[in-house]
Amino acid sequence: MVEIRDEPISFDLHGVSGAVLGRNYAQTGFKLMESLWPVIKQNGIKTTAINYWGYAGCDRLSPRVELAGKNVESSLEHIPVHFGRYAYYKHIGPYDRLSEAYAALDKGIARQGLTGSGGSVEKYGDWTDDASQLVTEIFIGLN
């Protein structure tokens, strides 16, 4: 179920960004993550161990993390996100079914006469080998 939330939410994230080619988000995201995690490990950067994927429209993707402490030096791109009003959806199930979650979000937003602001964030829960139990929270900024 799509929830429209009016309480502001912010994410103080760090990561890498890249262009999405051919709307292939999974391939682009995993390729970018292959450049993100080695930087974190090689530089001993402490994170909260939660993965985020941020989208700026449909052509830019940024895998991101929250740093574990304040004032932590990082060579990663600082990508803060703030939504004053947003649509929220909690997807439980395989990642390859996220497109269905986005279809439900789009319908729920349109049904209420709202429009997205072009930015969104996916917050990934703890990994499990049981794909039916994977949790992804989706936040879409609203105008």
**39 pLDDT exceeds 90?**
no
Domains of the chain, by residue range, sit at: 3-142
pLDDT at 72: 62
**5 pLDDT exceeds 90?**
yes
pLDDT at 42: 87
pLDDT at 23: 82
Q: What pTM, to 2 d.p., does this model score?
A: 0.90
Query: The domain 3-142 is classified under which CATH number: 3.30.360.10, 3.40.50.300, 3.20.80.10, 3.40.920.10?
Result: 3.20.80.10
pLDDT at 88: 95
pLDDT at 63: 94
pLDDT at 21: 84
**137 pLDDT exceeds 90?**
yes
| pLDDT tens per residue, range 53-98 | 999 877 889 999 998 876 566 678 888 999 999 999 999 999 999 9
Return the HEC string of the chain. CCEEECCCEEEEEEECCEECCCCCHHHHHHHHHHHHHHHHHHCCCCEEEEEEEEEECCCEEEEEEEECCCCCCCCCEEEEEEECCEEEEEEECCHHHHHHHHHHHHHHHHHCCCCEEEEEEEEECCCCCCHHHCEEEEEEEEC
